[in-house]
Amino acid sequence: MTAADHTRAPVLEALAEYRSEGRLSFTPPGHKQARGADPAVREVLGDAVFHGDVLATGGLDDRLTRGRVLQRAQELMADAVHAEHTFFSTCGSSLSVKAAMLAVAGPHEKLLIGRDAHKSVVSGLILSGIEPVWVEPSWDARRNLAHPPSAEAFERAFAAHPDAKGALITSPTPYGASADLRAVAEVCHRRSAPLIVDEAWGAHLPFHPDLPSWAMDAGADICVTSIHKMGSGLEQGSVFHLRGDLVPPELLGMRADLLGTTSPSSLIFAGLDGWRRQMALRGRELMGGALELAAEVRAAVEEIDGMHVNDRDDFCGPGLAHGFDPLPVVIDIEGLGVSGYQAADWLREHRGVVAHLTDHRRVGMQITHADDRETAGELLAALKDLARAAPGLGPAPRVEVPSPAGLRMPQVALPRDAFFGPAEDVPLDRAAGRVAAEMITPYPPGIPAVLPGERLAEPVLRYLRSGLDAGMYLPDPTDPALETIRVTAEG
């Protein structure tokens, strides 16, 4: 078998050829290589964006895709990360994870799912009619954090639901905690059941030995990865990989085709292709530099009064996470007496520094291979300024975070049935005991606190109400003010 040539980038090469040959297009997109684009848009974006915005079929390749441009790019990506098949998606991992779910289970069939799943997984349940069997995460009650479920938790769930078609786990989490994927895969494969890993936050994992094991090397069957999160891809750039014989590649491709756009962005394809080449040629060097820089940043933040960087000792151990990725740099600021929401707002407004994760007591500042000592220095200076300014920001509004047991509400109806069935809006103070007909999701990281079909309980309602008042972002309830909640109609 011929070794893969990772110096090649088929999508980028096809774009360069399209441009150099001066092809004159009478097809979409209508801007015709920037000529028709609004001048103000061209000034902000630059013409290069439009030059790369060509049809995938009939642009990057001919009308019958005889050049196999996209196929060759996907084959190189698969080789780079030890997969057997790779599919590109320009609709983000939100689409990719739905395609994976639909390839494993169908309407009214069961799928084991860690309850710390992203809202895109719940959307997949609503669209498909799959019956979720929720598997409890490993809860850290002291830090109010969920880590991925253990292999033992999946073993118990399979024992209780032997008809489940497979399992889905999220690893790593946006906080950097990872599961024992090899052990979870073994639990699934003893039953010839496939394992899907939502590894949206793990695009970088295959490229350095000091990072947690990634899904394909740990025995997973399908792995979904967002290249735009920790990689160099453009927003919406996602890939999903396949190994083994439990899920036919033709079936996975068919499910993806059902959901995907027929007008994929060549710009996003180019970002995926370029990231693969960059990592295949220089990944270990680039990831090693990012790890060294993150270690320096973490040590420096730990020296700031009132701040603590969550580390391996905080996240890993019996009943907690299995592995740890240090690049998210999650900072507990409870000692400053302010919330993560207050801190993020202050940093953006006063220092031009944008945090990623925010919750009632933490901010997350992800470090990637794109950072250097200059950007790290600006971050540290801003965090020191935040520590000095914190006493003047006022006390952190109280967010009534329930215990792990209080966060769980019984699933009494299929998410699809509750979401599409007859519904009504009821005042928040009368919603306890009713069955939710919508998702309510603190964002980021996007893990729903309320799912359609769950029987609402007072502790979760208090959490959401107090969180909203404290600055929590809830993008999906029908009533953004949360004065009412959509519930299934009685009777």
Tally of residues, the chain: 491
- Rounded distance between C-alpha atoms, residue 243 and residue 217, angstroms: 10
Reported as half-sphere exposure (CB side, CA atoms, 13 A), residue 137 has a value of 26
First to last CA, the chain: 64
In SS3 terms, the chain reads as CCCCCCCCCHHHHHHHHHHHCCCCCCCCCCCCCCCCCCHHHHHHHCHHHHHCCCCCECCCECCCCCCCHHHHHHHHHHHHCCCCEEEEECCHHHHHHHHHHHHHCCCCCEEEEECCCCHHHHHHHHHHCCEEEEECCEEECCCCEEECCCHHHHHHHHHHCCCCCCEEEECCCCCCEECCHHHHHHHHHCCCCCEEEECCCCCCHHHCCCCCCCCCCCCCCEEEEEHHHHCCCCCCCEEEEECCCCCCHHHHHHHHHHHCCCCCCHHHHHHHHHHHHHHHHHHHHHHHHHHHHHHHHHHHHHCCCCCEECCHHHHECCCCECEECCCCCEEECHHHCCCHHHHHHHHHHHHCCCCCCECCCEEECCCCCCCCHHHHHHHHHHHHHHHHHHHHHCCCCCCCCCCHHHHCCCECCCHHHHHHCCEEEEEHHHCCCCEECCCECCCCCCCCCECCCEECCHHHHHHHHHHHHHCCCCCCCCCCCCCEEEEECCC
Among residues 425, 50, 85, 442, the alpha carbon closest in space to that of 266 is found at 50
pTM over 0.85: yes
Tokens 């669209």 label which residue?
A: 127
- Report yes or no: 191 and 166 within 8 Å, Cβ to Cβ: no
**In the structure encoding, which two tokens stand for residue 474, read together?**
């809830």
Per residue in 191-223, pLDDT tens?
A: 999 999 999 999 999 999 999 989 999 999 999
Give the domains, in start order, of the chain with CATH numbers: 64-266 (3.40.640.10), 282-393 (3.90.1150.10), 404-488 (3.90.100.10)
- Rounded distance between C-alpha atoms, residue 351 and residue 371, angstroms: 17
Gyration radius of the chain over CA positions: 23
Among residues 120, 158, 104, 113, the alpha carbon closest in space to that of 136 is found at 113
Among residues 376, 375, 383, 294, the alpha carbon closest in space to that of 333 is found at 383
Q: What are the backbone dihedrals phi and psi of residue 478, each rounded to the nearest 5 degrees, phi first?
A: -65, -30
pLDDT computed for residue 1 by the predictor? 56
448 prior amide bond cis, ω within 30: no
Q: How far is CA 124 from CA 1, 40, 95, 118, 121, in A?
A: 38, 38, 9, 10, 5
pLDDT computed for residue 25 by the predictor? 87
Residue 187, strand partner residues:
none
Amino acid symbol at 359: D
Those residues of the chain that have pLDDT short of 50 are none
